[in-house]
Amino acid sequence: MLLKDRVALITGAGRGLGKATAVAMAGEGASVALLSRTRAELEETAALVEKAGGRALVLPADVTDEKAVREAAARTGAEMDGINIVVNCASIVGPAEPLHEVDPDQWNRTLAVNLTGVVRVCQETVPFMIRAGGGRIVNVTSGLAQIVMPMFGAYSVSKAGVNHLTRIMAEELRGYGIQVNGLDPGVMDTGMQEEIRRMGPSVLGKPLHDQFLSFKEGGHLKHPGEVARLAVFLASDHSVGITGEIGGAAEFRDYGYGLGDQY
């Protein structure tokens, strides 16, 4: 088992990639702390974690709530005897509007969840990793961090921030044996994609809406379980020495991901 006796705290664990990653890591021997806003979704994930042979801790919390995140990290450390892995999956798509028209509250909320939430979770969990002599942080990012797609500026800027903080934290934490990498999942068949399609052509414009429809109808959306295998790799000893890198399966294949299909 690749993650035997490890403890992973996963945000956004109630659905999509966070849920799939929790189950995949449990299947590799990890105990998993599940953090998101909706308890009912976390309970569903916990049942799947336990079915996979893992131990689950349900932690309803919003990553924008400093006190709740601190308490979730403290509870994880106390009840699961430390934290070795953090996967920052919590994310929202934010407003689909030109940046000059975005409501300030929507802008602030998008960055609070997608960017500041990552920093906050790391601030509360890194001390546990330092005490343990090392650890792994996997920050879920997006291709939109590096390309220009009008209408999704707030989301794109937040993920560009995640990319840069990943590189900075990788250098700052290198001496503690903590590896920090960014996982770009590509387009997945998740609730976020469904939310975007529901916006319709009246919000997105017909060309952009048609593009997102084509992802679904053309079978181009990845199953979250497929991407979760990469998260397992980045959290495991097979990724030793890899830090400050950002990419998907193709990029991490250069570092040994997928060899022998052991994930």
Q: Which domains does the chain have, with CATH numbers?
A: 7-186+222-261 (3.40.50.720)
Local structure of 135: helix, strand or coil: strand
pLDDT band at 261 (very low <50, low <70, confident <90, very high): low
**What pTM value is reported for the model?**
0.93
What pLDDT was estimated at residue 262?
Answer: 60
Distance in angstroms (rounded) separating the CA atoms of residues 3 and 55: 13
Residue 191 has pLDDT above 90, yes or no: no
Distance in angstroms (rounded) separating the CA atoms of residues 184 and 168: 17
What pLDDT was estimated at residue 220?
Answer: 78
Structure tokens at 172: 């700052």
Catalytic: 155?
A: yes
Q: Are 137 and 181 in contact (CB under 8 A)?
A: yes
What are the angstrom distances between the C-alpha of 155 and each of 137, 145, 248?
Answer: 21, 8, 19
φ, ψ of residue 22 in degrees (nearest 5): -60, -45
Which residues on neighbouring strands pair with residue 85, listed in sequence order? 8, 136
Distance in angstroms (rounded) separating the CA atoms of residues 249 and 80: 30
Catalytic residue among 155, 255, 257, 263: 155
Residue 259 has pLDDT above 70, yes or no: no
Residue 258 has pLDDT above 60, yes or no: yes
pLDDT band at 199 (very low <50, low <70, confident <90, very high): confident
pLDDT for 56-90, tens place per residue? Answer: 999 999 999 999 999 999 999 999 999 999 999 99
